[in-house]
Amino acid sequence: MWGMIATWRMALEGITKGAELLENGKCAGDAIEEAIKEVEDFPYYKSVGYGGLPNEEMEVELDAAYMDGDTLDVGCVAAIKDFKNPISIARRLSIEKVNSMLVGAGAEKFAHKEGFERKNMLSDRAKIHYENKIKKLKKEDIVPYDGHDTVGMVSLDKNRKMVVGTSTSGLFMKKKGRVGDSPIAGSGFYVDSEIGGVTATGLGEDLMKCCISYEVVRLMGEGFSPQEACDRAVSKFDAKLKSRRNKAGDMSIVAMNNKGEWGVATNIEGFSFAVVTENEPPKVYLTKIINNKCVHEVASKEWLDDYMKTRTMPLERK
């Protein structure tokens, strides 16, 4: 059995490419890297790679991580600027025994020395979003945009190796140097090939309070199905944050075990995700929450068409 699961509709083209690799016997790491690069390179996604929205200072600072479920190696970059594919840098770092998580200037120096491709990641479209936001600021305080479209993917190959990867520009209008959950093991991602893998998207500051990805892998290791493990973790942490702090940030997680079974849970309406397995062609699903449980429906053609139309629609300066 092989398969991939990923956060958000934007992962569809990536997992389709990853599936081809997995089907042809390539490893889970190659599938993840190629699939995430596809999302990083697509200019119309506002929260991953090129075209990602900038921080308060109009700089695109990116976070990414890669984890190998066989060796438990983890590599991460955080707040890195001006490199085309942060996921590839994270993968390269994952084989280092020390210095495997690098931030800012240190990450850039490493990437430069290793010959990774440089690119100005601020697109014209992202600049317009920034300028429009700045104009609105005369009326309101600066607050990070609360949309959240980090791409996180789990892959399983024919040899039962599992890998997880993430890539994000984090929150729009974040402070310079702000790092979310996406490059933090246990919070934004976790994988153990003997059990399964998980990745999260949502408000990083809250996801980190829960170490949610590790918790879901742990629950799967205790025998829960991916769906039960996801439902349990999201409802537990959503309730905990609400009781201790009166509110819980957005949290959505996707999981796959080493048999290719998958599960998804969220505390928001309208979460979408993409899945492919040996038995199921690449598909986008939408979740609904019914009685604290997440129910998944295949996205309609109308929904998919509308998604691409709104993403690529011309953007005007206000």
Active site residues: 150
Residue-by-residue DSSP string for the chain: --EEEEESGGGHHHHHHHHHHHHTT--HHHHHHHHHHHHHH-TT-TTSSTTPPP-TTS---EEEEEEETTT--EEEEEEE-SBS-HHHHHHHHTT-SS--EEEHHHHHHHHHHTTPPB-----HHHHHHHHHHHHHTTTS----------EEEEEE-TTS-EEEEEEE--STTPPTT---STTSBTTTEEEETTTEEEEEEE-HHHHHHHTHHHHHHHHHHTT--HHHHHHHHHHHHHHHHHHHHS----EEEEEEETTS-EEEEESSTT-EEEEEETTEEEEEEEEEEETTEEEEEEPPHHHHHHHHHHHHS-----
Cβ nearer to ligand SD4, comparing 10 with 162:
10
Q: Which is nearer to ligand SD4, 19 or 284 (CB)?
A: 284
For ligand SD4, which is the closer residue by CB, 129 or 161? 129
Site for ligand SD4 contains 165 (CB under 6 A): no
Nearest approach in angstroms of CB 185 to ligand SD4 is 14
CB of 60 to ligand SD4, least distance (A): 13
Q: Under the criterion CB under 6 A, does residue 272 sit at the interface with ligand SD4?
A: no
Contact with ligand SD4 (CB under 6 A): which of 181, 215, 231, 238? 181
What's the min distance (Å) between Cβ of 169 and ligand SD4? 7
187 binds ligand SD4 (CB under 6 A): no
Residue 202 sits in the site that holds ligand SD4 (CB under 6 A): yes
Interface pick for ligand SD4 out of 94, 167, 168, 272 (rule CB under 6 A): 168
150 binds ligand SD4 (CB under 6 A): yes
Segment lying near ligand SD4 (by CB under 6 A), choices 34-42, 99-107, 201-209, 213-221: 201-209
- Binding piece for ligand SD4, criterion CB under 6 A, among 22-30, 119-127, 195-203, 310-318: 195-203
148 counts as binding ligand SD4 under rule CB under 6 A:
yes
Candidate residues 14, 69, 165, 204; the one interacting with ligand SD4 per rule CB under 6 A: 204
- Can you say whether the dihedral through the CA atoms of 268, 253, 65, 185 is positive or negative? positive
Enumerate binding residues for ligand SD4 (CB under 6 A): 47, 148-150, 168, 170-171, 180-182, 201-204
